[in-house]
Chains A and B, each alone.
Chain A
């Protein structure tokens, strides 16, 4: 199985700040990578697919980039509603696998 390693495991940022979360795959996943947001007490929601395509209804302050084994999620101008855990997921190989998550809190 492909291992997905996220960093950092947690971070604290201020409103209006730009935040970046990293995700590394154990092998090339050819940009078949998604990001999900999970707000406290809720189920995950799709944010980004194909490494850099925004899902429907997702604010443009979210963006994804990367290729090969290295990917990142950037949040510009952090808002209070962005407090959540974020997970990356590869769907290049079976089984689809997720990272352990990054918990984002407000400073």
Chain B
């Protein structure tokens, strides 16, 4: 059974760094890529970045200067770090499993974690 679970602090001070962990089970990080997606309350999701199955990374250019994604395959974990947080970074942060559709190199998010609620406030 494919599962993803996000963990991390619920409250972050403005200008501080957010650190989140995604722990996966039911699939291998060396076979599937994992994305981070965030969603402000009542709004559409925003793709943040991806840890490819081969260890490479891809980032949304809007966040690239602040964002870092890494992994520990021995622990089945993917990590997100984002610095210089502001109030508009408040929202729910999800990790997702990326699944390649029938078309090579095209990926959709076929499994999502429960989400980690993050509030940026002093």
List residues of A whose CB falls within 8 A of some B CB. 1, 4, 32, 34, 36, 43-46, 49-50, 53, 55, 87, 89, 91-92, 94-101
A50→B46 CA distance, assembly (Å)? 20
By the criterion CB–CB under 8 Å, are A95 and B60 in contact? yes
> What band does the interface of chain B fall in when counting residues whose beta carbon is under 8 Å from A?
20 to 34
CB distance from A2 to the nearest CB of B (A): 12
- If A50-B102, A96-B47, A100-B44 touch, whether A45 touches B107 (CB-CB below 8 Å) is no
Q: 1/0 per residue B20-48: CB within 8 Å of A?
A: 00000000000000000000000111110
A99→B45 CA distance, assembly (Å)? 8
Contacts of B45 in A (CB 8 A): 44, 87, 89, 98
By the criterion CB–CB under 8 Å, are A99 and B44 in contact? yes
By the criterion CB–CB under 8 Å, are B43 and A34 in contact? no
Q: 1/0 per residue B102-122: CB within 8 Å of A?
A: 110011111111110000000
A-B contact count (CB 8 A): 56
Q: Does B58 contact A (CB under 8 A)?
A: yes
Contacts of A44 in B (CB 8 A): 45, 94, 109, 112
- If A32-B103, A94-B58, A95-B60 touch, whether A49 touches B44 (CB-CB below 8 Å) is no
A1→B64 CA distance, assembly (Å)? 14
Q: Which of A1, A43, A91, A98 meets B44, CB within 8 Å?
A: A98
Top-8 shortest CB links A-B: A43-B112, A95-B60, A98-B44, A100-B44, A96-B47, A34-B108, A49-B108, A98-B45
Q: Which residue of B lies closest to A42 (CB)?
A: B114
A63→B99 CA distance, assembly (Å)? 20
By the criterion CB–CB under 8 Å, are B106 and A32 in contact? yes
